[in-house]
């Protein structure tokens, strides 16, 4: 049997940046990158970081190297603006806390935020009881921050149905 477009007849594609042969995965560049052709995974990640302003991009590394000559400033806590001190351990917030990951927290603020998050996850937002295995997310129009137990979710749902 004859197939007009055989895999063997396909022209080989190369990365538009590093000219590496694209075998399995190829990525389409964004329009603002102004690149013609497809990219390999490594080049796609690097271009994404460059254009997103990510701190690990090559431009920010150059900026950090030039600032080494300047006097070091002791870090400040991102929540209470207290001086952390150069000898103290600086803590970064967890990604689940919905905070800027570039912030640095003192031990006191870090422990407060950690306890607040644990309470939000493990206890009902309405009644304050320990959450059972099944958790319920409130509807957006209820304007409740956190998760609900079944009885509180049913009560809130009934209340909003009666109002509407």
64-103 pLDDT tens trace: 444 444 555 677 787 787 777 766 666 888 877 778 777 8
Domain spans of the chain?
A: 10-58, 74-122, 124-164
DSSP letter assigned to residue 91: B
- Compute the distance between CA of residue 148 and CA of residue 123 in angstroms, rounded to an integer: 8
Q: Stretch 27-31: mean pLDDT, rounded?
A: 88
Q: Which two tokens stand for residue 150?
A: 């079944």
- Compute the distance between CA of residue 76 and CA of residue 90 in angstroms, rounded to an integer: 9
103-114 pLDDT tens trace: 888 888 888 888
What 3-state DSSP class applies to 65?
helix
pLDDT of residue 129: 86
What pTM does this model have?
0.46
pLDDT of residue 81: 79
- Compute the distance between CA of residue 23 and CA of residue 61 in angstroms, rounded to an integer: 31
């Amino acid at each position: 049997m004859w197939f007009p477009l055989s895999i063997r007849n396909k022209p080989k594609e190369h990365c538009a940046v590093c000219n590496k042969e694209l075998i399995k995965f190829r990525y389409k560049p964004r329009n603002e990158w102004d690149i013609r052709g497809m990219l390999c995974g490594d080049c796609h990640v690097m271009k994404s970081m460059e254009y997103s302003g990510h701190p690990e991009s090559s431009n920010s590394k150059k900026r950090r190297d030039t600032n080494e000559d300047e006097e070091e400033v002791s870090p400040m806590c991102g929540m209470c603006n207290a001086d952390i001190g150069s000898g103290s351990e600086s803590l970064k917030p967890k990604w689940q806390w919905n905070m800027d990951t570039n912030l640095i927290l003192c031990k006191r603020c870090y422990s407060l935020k950690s306890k607040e998050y644990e309470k939000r996850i493990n206890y009902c937002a309405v009644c304050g009881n320990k959450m059972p295995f099944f958790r319920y997310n409130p509807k957006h129009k209820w304007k409740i921050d956190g998760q609900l137990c079944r009885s509180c979710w049913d009560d809130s749902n009934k209340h909003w149905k009666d109002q509407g």
